[in-house]
Structure 1
């Protein structure tokens, strides 16, 4: 197992960044490897389509790996669906998801790794509401690269999440902060998780 000092991971959303700006964002944080956690590694912007992204990053000296099967939000495993909707807490227990976490564990030994998805805001993306939650619970330090180059610790992201879902700590006096955070994760997760098309096979 890697030492605690190595158990730090970043996340980033490519959003509408031009390629040079995105590379500069990664370089500013010292990123040396990128784990693409999109279920489908394609994009409207051509530079973020897997067939262009992977060689583009490698040309910049940044390793690339696609972990969408392991850590993506759209799941094939029936056991993580409740009433036709993905349940993030069930996703976190899947063997395939755990295998993805194990690959991150190995990756951070030799690299400074960022998870990448499309959304600019980590609270609009499963990287912030699912993956970061599980990693933090496992003792990782999770840091989000913001569009302006600043870095937000996941503790601060969680505080924003509590506010975002409308939980008022003053109205829940006596309730531990961790309990409010868990409630916020569940509420936000239910609002954003994947529902397959009704006419999809299976």
Structure 2
């Protein structure tokens, strides 16, 4: 779910181009970036300059998007698209997948090699990657999962200041 489906480098992934390509393949494209995108326009969803996924997940707009996915999944096969190669590097897994699973949905991710990976397996990989697997009498695996979600959110969540700095450096480079 890209909040803004536009790319200067890959115009085939712009909203209109993507919609047309998918239509030619018999696939319907529905944009839900406003509801499920990770770049909220709601100031309440920010802690400092970063989006808080917990706050975003509590908004009515996000919950309407989740409900639309759940309703649609009862009738259709649904795929959420984003730009990241690895699911654990994308808000689809850390925000949307987490919320869908909390509501009882089954979530699988399509990996680069075409294989499917369950949400729980993706988060298990993240726990390993972040070296949080040291379970002991003071910390459960559930605690490690919560910590992995929090750490990955901190690493990937949209940051207004970072976007401004990137925009400034891109503008300077092109002048």
TM-score (norm 2): 0.87
Structure 1 residue runs of 4+, over 2 Å off? 172-176, 197-200
Residue 160 of structure 2 corresponds to which residue in structure 1? Answer: 196
- The structure whose RCO (Cα within 8 Å, separation 6+) is larger is 1
Matched, 1:179 2:114: no
Matched, 1:68 2:33: yes
Structure 1 or 2: larger strand share?
1
- Structure 1 residue aligned with 2:71, among 95, 101, 106? 106
Tell me the secondary structure at the aligned position of residue 29 of structure 2: strand
Matched, 1:48 2:13: yes
Give the Å deviation of 1:176: 2.3
Tell me the secondary structure at the aligned position of residue 66 of structure 1: coil
Give the Å deviation of 1:169: 2.3
Q: Is the CA contact 2:127–2:144 (under 8 Å) kept in the aligned structure 1?
A: yes
Give the Å deviation of 1:173: 4.1
- Aligned residue pairs: how many? 163
TM-score (norm 1): 0.76
Task: Kindly report the root-mean-square deviation, in angstroms, between the aligned alpha carbons of the 2 structures.
Answer: 1.6
Q: Is the CA contact 2:70–2:105 (under 8 Å) kept in the aligned structure 1?
A: no
C-alpha distance in structure 1 between counterparts of 2:130 and 2:112, whole Å: 23
- Residue ranges of structure 2 left out of the alignment (5+ in a row): 166-175
Can you list the C-alpha shifts for 1:15-74, whole angstroms capped at 9, x where unaligned? Answer: xxxxxxxxxxxxxxxxxxxxxx10111122122111110011011111110110000010
Structure 1 or 2: larger helix share?
2
Residue 157 of structure 1 corresponds to which residue in structure 2? Answer: 122
Tell me the secondary structure at the aligned position of residue 161 of structure 2: coil
- Residue ranges of structure 1 left out of the alignment (5+ in a row): 1-36
173 and 161 in structure 1: CA distance in 2 versus 1, 3 angstrom threshold: farther
